[in-house]
Structure 1
């Protein structure tokens, strides 16, 4: 039985996701930390296992993993509209900021600003908090701790776009072998108010557009179709998050003469300065090429695959996760996700943020404020930005 979706629930999702969109700095792993703190620890919209399963699913799928997790949480809270509203709240602040950068502030270097460095240190505290909580829940025994360690070592030593997918597949197989007789049945309901028929339509549309758009591009001379095709393919074929999509986008637009290398790199610097998903870099590129309308078109095109894949897989994912034959595999996958998060915590979050002893001291202060004083993440973000600016004076 599908639950009734209320307007109040949609407003709540919009408010919370917008606040996260205004304060979530630090990249996809940091975003998962912010989501975990807000949606799981504070509001308990999902249990720990369901959240870990959702993260594991989004690791399998191409596209922006953190955005897909946010969409998935919105879907489970309030259906398709909840997923759309969650995405709008989390993404729109950075889209607007990057379109403004494209129209007004091109070429201004913000990558080395002190407050940006402070926000990177905030990401260290947030991600560390998330990893500690997830590790306690998802790696309670020695076997799963060992799986997490192997995933950590593998993803640190072989940093390729497909390493994470391979590690998750291997962990699923090992987990199946180790825990196939497990009778644990404490899974909570994973509410997915989407029909399987609608899911199949979304999956068909995903693959159909992947084939149809290049054909339309070749048979027409419309620039907006060429733009849509380039951004849609980039969003469809990328594993590993926002940073991986950058070389694909550069190859699509710089050699073809749509924009200069200098304009591209200026936008990359701006994208590092705003919260939210790095995929919103597409908004900057679209705005450089075709104004604010191009920015919106590029945003829709690069995120559309994420929507179609989440809507298309979530209903089947809940069925699979409840199958006794699949549960052991998921236990292995969840343990591997912990190792992958620790790996990403070190590289690039730690290595790009903790450069001196005073950086580590500041990170410890922020971690204590978040974990033990239980201050809201937005307060930590403000303190981090101010502290980062002050650190440049020392």
Structure 2
């Protein structure tokens, strides 16, 4: 077994330098752990990616947790997450303090951040639709999901859409089975069942918390639900987090979108946006402690899901029905993100022709010229400041 401290230091360097979002993170991980350190071979790494894409939650962070767990047990998984997450979490809490000091989120540089979000989410919808909706049935599922959520923008409706997508995929899609996992699991099946039970209790408690009027409990429970139910990558968390923060009256849409724009400029996992939200939300304790609690709440389901799935992945992956249900869920989340592109992203960021022009130019920089997201965020924040 490897030292958790070694795991932490390796992932800390990645957390400081891994720009570009989940797909880029997986590329950095492959270079580090397959080519450079040879902690895994190519096939085992591909299988870990398949596992974490099957689970809800932030795929790149879950791959990191799985690698740390395989190399150094439970403490290794925790060390990997902490190293990879800490830099961006600290930066996002710092952004939260900056927004609080600067006040009005409609100021020029924040205007630039908000129009960048339009481009980032539009690019995510485009790329995910190409990958996850390759046929008419899945494209129809995505469009139907978007229509439902545009008409009924509610957290429970989002959960219903995810469930219906899985049901439609199970009944209507044909997906071939794949080979079983080829990496050893350090977790016993009995322990895996225990973690699955803990996850069920945690998710059930977060759903019951929707009945509460306590702002802090509402926020933290919403973070747990977001970390438990998001399929398809970091950008898909946007509509769920918007519902539990802006929708619950804990902040305004401008503050929310400005923070999401800033999250594109930092390295590490996009889910550290939760630290910003916990720090600026109108719910105690706020500040760095509120940001830390929100961060832990959104990532806790990832640990439980990875540790629950590792012992059973070989058998589960071989089931075509499970793969078909996942394909339907992935199509539905494309629709969820498409609806989020309109509300809250476009409705909060686009106020006139100048904003449209800024968003289109940012999209061209990202999608056509392949500029790094952090550079586009910084550049368009400056342009927004000059234009505003």
TM-score (normalizing by structure 1) = 0.67
| 1:117 aligned onto 2:111 | yes
* Match for residue 183 of structure 1 among 176, 190, 205: 176
- Map of 1:383 onto structure 2: 379
Offset of residue 236 of structure 1? 3.8
* Match for residue 323 of structure 1 among 319, 338, 356: 319
Residues 71 and 84 of structure 1 are in contact (CA less than 8 Å); yes or no, is this contact kept in structure 2? Answer: no
- Map of 1:31 onto structure 2: none
**Which secondary structure state, in structure 2, belongs to the residue aligned with residue 162 of structure 1?**
helix
Q: What RMSD in Å do the two structures reach over aligned CA positions?
A: 4.4
Residues 142 and 331 of structure 2 are in contact (CA less than 8 Å); yes or no, is this contact kept in structure 1? Answer: yes
Q: Distance in 1 between matches of 2:17 and 2:363?
A: 20
Equivalences, count: 337
- Map of 1:35 onto structure 2: 21
* Match for residue 359 of structure 1 among 355, 363, 372: 355
| 1:244 aligned onto 2:209 | no
Residues 167 and 336 of structure 1 are in contact (CA less than 8 Å); yes or no, is this contact kept in structure 2? Answer: yes
Change (3 A) 1:130 1:107: closer
Residues 19 and 89 of structure 1 are in contact (CA less than 8 Å); yes or no, is this contact kept in structure 2? Answer: no
Offset of residue 386 of structure 1? 0.6
Offset of residue 118 of structure 1? 0.6
Q: Distance in 1 between matches of 2:5 and 2:15?
A: 15
Residues 234 and 249 of structure 1 are in contact (CA less than 8 Å); yes or no, is this contact kept in structure 2? Answer: no
Structure 1: give runs of 5+ residues left out of the alignment: 24-33, 59-64, 213-225, 251-263
**Which secondary structure state, in structure 1, belongs to the residue aligned with residue 21 of structure 2?**
helix
- Map of 1:372 onto structure 2: 368
Offset of residue 244 of structure 1? 3.2
TM-score (normalizing by structure 2) = 0.68
**Which secondary structure state, in structure 2, belongs to the residue aligned with residue 369 of structure 1?**
helix
Change (3 A) 1:295 1:157: closer
Residues 222 and 241 of structure 2 are in contact (CA less than 8 Å); yes or no, is this contact kept in structure 1? Answer: no
* Match for residue 83 of structure 1 among 81, 84, 104: 81
Residues 235 and 305 of structure 1 are in contact (CA less than 8 Å); yes or no, is this contact kept in structure 2? Answer: no
Structure 2: give runs of 5+ residues left out of the alignment: 32-41, 70-76, 206-213, 230-238, 264-271
Q: Deviations over 1:97-124 (max 9, x none)?
A: 44x56xxx86751311111111111112
Offset of residue 281 of structure 1? 3.2
**Which secondary structure state, in structure 2, belongs to the residue aligned with residue 241 of structure 1?**
helix
Residues 165 and 328 of structure 2 are in contact (CA less than 8 Å); yes or no, is this contact kept in structure 1? Answer: yes
Residues 138 and 334 of structure 1 are in contact (CA less than 8 Å); yes or no, is this contact kept in structure 2? Answer: yes
